[in-house]
Amino acid sequence: MKTLDEYYRSYNSNVHRGIHVLSAKATEAYEGARTKVANFVNAADSREIVFTRNATEAINLVAYSWGLSNLKQGDEIVLTVAEHHSAIVPWQFVSQKTGATLKYVGLTKEEVPDIEQFKGLLSNKTKIVVVHHVSNVLGSMLPIEDIVTWSNRVGAKVLVDACQSVPHMPVDVQKLGADFLVASSHKMCGPTGVGFLHGKLDILSSMEPFLGGGEMIADVFQDKSTYAEPPSRFEAGTPAIGEAIGLGAAIDYLSQIGMQKIHEYEKELATYLYESLISVPNVRIYGPAPCKTDHRAPLCSFNVENVHPTDIAEILDLQHGVAIRSGHHCAQILHRTLGINASARASLHFYNTKEEVDVFVHALKSSIDFLTSEL
């Protein structure tokens, strides 16, 4: 917040356009934030980081700029039923325009995406694989390095939705090896309205622009234009300058704490949340138990028998001041796969404590008693 305030009060100016002091300072801070993002995810080059409005726009950028140019009828796009809508709907658009087919990986009995089925779906028809790193509903983590290896064998590109991993654990894009990876600032203790795409530089350089306008051009003629090199090619118009600089400040904050330290603490917190919640009568938690997986994110999506999740969320908020989410969590396909319409979700980050989990569980028990007392 201080960083945003300082930008708007002290050097509010557009980037890459002016030679005056304010523009130069804004440009330096904006590009400095890009370098911070690149270092945070260990990108090979800061030019591989494209600032976007959010992770959703980053996925749309790949879908339109890469997908429409590289997919045709008969090609296949592989996803899982656990994907966020932002990783599904853009590829539905591409499928409708190109004739490419969407293929979905289902769940195992442990309620995680079926890796064996995934391997069976891969073929020379597969052109891109779109998968989450960590599920925002199930809390499970996919083996991205293996998925990249298997996908590359059939010549397929891989896009990773890392919104639930980048804020919670060390993420090394070079180690993961994916062609594209997206994340959003607001899940990283940063401002809303900004996110980023990481793309391998050679692939970005081969892609057409996503939006047209200022900044993304080299030369403009009456009948045609030539385009700037990445990342400018994909950052048309005035970007979210203050927000990008704010994201850089959030990255400084996370890095000062240490992502490995955050990850270790959250693993402990995740187990505590799961075990505390599973002890509540008539509660059904979705996704793998901590004892059956190498990683479970610090979140639990759950339902209580004969009680609507929205009622639970409302009573928790109004009577106990505890905020959780209810609904389909932008994952309707997953909820249908699980045989439910909605669920409640308690999500934690490194600033939460076991004591707060205790408060939540106590409040949940009280809310359930309140909601079922007349039954």
Tokens 């969407």 identify what position?
102
The secondary structure of 145-189 as a DSSP string is HHHHHHHHHTT-EEEEE-TTTTTTS---HHHH--SEEEEEGGGGT
- For residue 280, give the 3-state DSSP assignment: coil
Active centre residues (catalytic): 330
Find the helix or strand (DSSP H, E) in which 102 lies. Answer: strand 101-105
CB 95 within 8 A of CB 126: no
User: Alpha-carbon distance 16 to 22, whole Å?
Assistant: 11
- State the alpha helices, DSSP H only, in 63-143: 68-70, 89-98, 115-121
CB 58 within 8 A of CB 149: no
- For residue 359, give the 3-state DSSP assignment: helix
DSSP state letter for 368: H
The region, left, alpha or beta by phi > 0 then psi within -120 to 50, assigned to residue 284 is beta
User: Alpha-carbon distance 85 to 182, whole Å?
Assistant: 14
Tokens of 315: 């009573």
User: Alpha-carbon distance 151 to 119, whole Å?
Assistant: 9
